[in-house]
Chain A
């Protein structure tokens, strides 16, 4: 067959203009909505990924002592990585080109006090210079930039390695009256005792940056250290927001009087080679006789928050996508059915001239293909305009479970665009084919006479 079917289909678009426009509008809206939904999901996933890998300092890969992820809290000494483990891990990972940075992490609990009041804390600690590299990673700044900023004060990496500085979450800062962080005083500065009952106690507590951290050391003794609050921070995570503190790795080791670490975090150069790197490290650690667990960042056991949030978002997205798909299918099917029934005698005539059912169906599919192509171009344009205005409007967004809000930023993902376009296109063609299929099955005489209606 030559170009005649295309010519005929193109001209047929001018018939029933209003109906074709309505059908095209449904397809265009379906496509643009899919783009916006895809843009939302793309930014949500990237934000969550950046938050988990960089913001939470988990790394792309986290290595624990065998069973440490679950049992560390109950018996940290047994389930932590000792210096021999850490040295072996450094050796094993040293030559791996896919690794960008790495280092040990420690977490722990205890009490933090201003001398007058105490509250429990949950601490995480990595080397501040490593933390600087992690937090300043371009991927983290792109997607998590709004959350890495401190509420007040300066970052730990801005101070010398031996400085006894720490950052505390805003709620603790408020409770302990340490919400005016600043640079630590000179060691020679005199420290005056504060009368907790005095009227000016709050002001004096606020002027004094020092807090005391107390915890059970891993050797069983009670341990305590002083630290200067140089920053108030936002954790973004409601699980930790109330009692979260961050210290240099060595400082927290000192509190627990240990040389061990809770885990070992590895950040890769990109997000694409995590599973194979996990497998490689697992094999290497096993070969080295190390009794360790190696987790990918998105492992459900390691990152229940990421997985739970994304599962919730994905469920909403698929539900919305299903509604969109239904709207497109029903609109196209409805319109195509009306068109095909109206043109039944035309179909009958073509069949009587020798057109097979398949040829007739192809003619209608070409017609719907043209409507779909034009509509999707329009839908793409609507999507681009929507992206522009939504991103410009600065809409506040708070993902489920997030304490801090972010600015909604729709991001184009070529894969989602391609998938949406393919899906909407296939659905439109399928719906039109379904409509013409049923009518073309009628007897030719019935079609010609119009008795198929």
Chain B
């Protein structure tokens, strides 16, 4: 894949064009993305790899509409998100994107099923019955049915990340973004999580885009993009 601007496509779920983002660190301006172009097609299972500080997380934050670029275009499912206001972005995240974080980010006072239910509570299109069904299905998909009433503190790291995956999938998103989802897991659990994501990608045809710098996982993915100094390398 080159850094050339991608052509629009019906198959594209993510299209980024000339994306620029930098951060202020004290007196220093640190460029994170330097005119990045990138496209992800529907149903793909893509790993973004790169060294620490290469711009992986920034790239995922931009796609997830949780950070804003200085310039450039971000299209999610054909919607130009840089022109949306905060509430519209919130709705887009809720309906189209699922997030999996490195440190799981579960709410400690909520049980597994309550954590998974969280994004559905603010989706007015989902009825209470449908919500229950979706939560049950998502928990079942990550094989945590026995633990649905448990609190996050009562689960292992791998189980917690599975809860996070279930939460990301409960809303039936078009795209799941995972920022270093295996960084806090041991080797065995890392493989299990990647296997689970692959399995869900195959079963649900959900697009997965995740960042990692774990070389052991790289042979498990079908598509890899390499980011270096804020641009995609071939």
Contact = CB atoms under 8 A, between A and B. Distances in A.
Nearest to B61: A445
B110 A448 contact: no
Interface string B201-224: 000000000000000000000000
Interface stretch (A26-34, A260-268, A343-351): A343-351
A444 B122 CA distance: 18
13 contacts: A2-B121, A4-B117, A8-B107, A11-B109, A12-B109, A349-B107, A351-B66, A353-B94, A354-B123, A356-B86, A356-B90, A443-B66, A445-B61
Contacts of A319: none
B64 interface: yes
B66 A359 contact: no
B119 to A, nearest CB: 4
Interface in A423-453: 443-445, 448-449
Contacts of A445: 57, 61, 66-67
Size bracket, chain A contacts: 20 to 34
Interface of A: 1-2, 4-5, 7-8, 11-12, 14-15, 345-346, 348-357, 359, 443-445, 448-449
A445 B66 CA distance: 5
Interface residues of B, number: 31
B93 interface: yes
Interface in B58-106: 61, 64, 66-68, 86-87, 90-91, 93-95, 99, 101, 103, 105
Contacts of A5: 121
Given A11-B110, A448-B105, A353 B66 contact: no
B128 interface: yes
B8 interface: no
Nearest to B121: A4
Best-surrounded residue of A1, A15, A354 (most CB of chain B within 10 A): A354
Nearest to B177: A352
A448 B114 CA distance: 20
B67 to A, nearest CB: 4
B109 A444 contact: no
A4 to B, nearest CB: 5
B118 interface: yes
A354 B94 contact: yes
A377 B67 CA distance: 43
B138 to A, nearest CB: 13
Nearest to A345: B105
Contacts of A2: 121, 128
Given A353-B94, A443-B67, A445-B61, A1 B110 contact: no
